[in-house]
């Protein structure tokens, strides 16, 4: 058990949870949202997210990632001989994937009717969206990739220990986490009135694809690369359109 790594990840989780609170408060203050939540409710939800999702997910990742050939940091794919080239490849892959994943969100920002992506989404400021981008990159990648994807992969490899099954187990874990990742984005969408099933279907399809791409980065370059890519994608689709 790598206690130092786990404590570091838990601190990162706390930063991620707290970074998401300003945007949540801004959304619920919008009259369109019609929410009875207050600061205490939001804080309690944040504590529950940390205790019941991020804490067990981070522990799962720390305990099982090495057993599944996965890694939290970048070191898995970097060796001394080709370090510079590998670092450049990681940076290029992360930024390229982040920009590509941001494009549908940018298009949706400009063409979708107000409120289509959920009530109160237009109320937060660019700074609040920036903090939310940091929050989502940390908390969602730890929960869905480091926790869920690692766990599913480990279970499959424990059941079937053949070497030829390794890639199948990885991609099955990736697909499972991506589907749950997509489903987790639905609550805000279904709060829109009336329901737009075209938007709902698009959100499921896009986030499933984005989840698979982020899972691939986790498999190939480590979880930090998926976090960075997630942040870049969210920054360009949520922050940039609001400051242009």
pLDDT tens digits, one per residue of 192-208 = 556 666 677 888 888 99
The whole-model pTM stands at: 0.92
Higher pLDDT, 138 or 2: 138
Average pLDDT over residues 199-224: 91
pLDDT band at 60 (very low <50, low <70, confident <90, very high): very high
Q: Compute the Cα dihedral for 10, 44, 52, 143 and give only its sign.
A: negative
Q: In this structure, what token pair is assigned to residue 217?
A: 């980065």
CA distance 118 to 238: 14
pLDDT at position 128 = 96
Q: What percent of the chain has pLDDT above 70?
A: 87
Average pLDDT in the 213-242 region? Answer: 95
Average pLDDT across the chain, whole number: 89
Secondary structure in 3-state letters for the chain: CCHHHHHHHHHHHHHHHHHHHHHHHHHHHCCCCCCCCCHHHHHHHHHHHHHHHHHHHHHHHHHHCHHHCCCCCHHHHCCCCCHHHHHHHHHHHHHHHHHHHHHHHHHHHHHCCCCCCCCCCCCCCHHHHHHHHHHHHHHHHHHHHHHHHHHHHHHHHHHCCCHHHHHHHHHHHHHHHHHHHHHCCHHHHCCCCCCCHHHHHHHHHHHHHHHHHHHHHHHHHCHHHHHHHHHHHHHHHHHHHHHC
Tens-digit pLDDT profile for residues 16-29: 999 999 999 998 88
> What's the rounded Cα separation, in Å, for the pair 117 and 176?
24
Q: What is the mean pLDDT of residues 126-150?
A: 97
In this model, does residue 116 exceed pLDDT 70? no
Average pLDDT in the 33-58 region?
90
């Amino acid at each position: 058990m790598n206690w130092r790594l786990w404590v570091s990840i838990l601190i990162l989780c706390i930063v991620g949870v707290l970074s998401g609170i300003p945007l949540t408060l801004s959304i619920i203050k919008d009259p369109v949202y019609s929410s009875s939540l207050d600061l205490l409710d939001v804080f309690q939800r944040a504590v529950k997210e940390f205790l019941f999702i991020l804490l067990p997910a981070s522990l799962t990742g720390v305990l099982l990632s090495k057993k599944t050939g996965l890694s939290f940091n970048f070191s898995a794919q970097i060796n001394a001989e080709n370090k510079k080239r590998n670092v450049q490849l990681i940076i290029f892959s992360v930024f390229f994937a982040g920009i590509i994943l941001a494009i549908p969100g940018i298009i949706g920002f400009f063409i979708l009717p107000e409120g289509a992506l959920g009530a109160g989404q237009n109320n937060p400021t660019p700074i609040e969206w920036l903090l939310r981008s940091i929050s989502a990159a940390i908390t969602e990648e730890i929960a869905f990739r480091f926790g869920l994807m690692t766990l599913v992969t480990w279970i499959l490899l424990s059941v079937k220990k053949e070497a030829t099954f390794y890639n199948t187990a990885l991609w099955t874990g990736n697909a499972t986490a991506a589907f749950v990742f997509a489903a987790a984005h639905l609550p805000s969408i279904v709060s829109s009135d009336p329901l737009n099933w075209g938007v709902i279907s698009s959100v499921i399809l896009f986030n499933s694809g984005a989840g698979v791409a982020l899972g691939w980065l986790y498999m190939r370059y480590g979880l930090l690369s998926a976090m960075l890519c997630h942040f870049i994608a969210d920054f360009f689709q949520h922050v940039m359109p609001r400051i242009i």
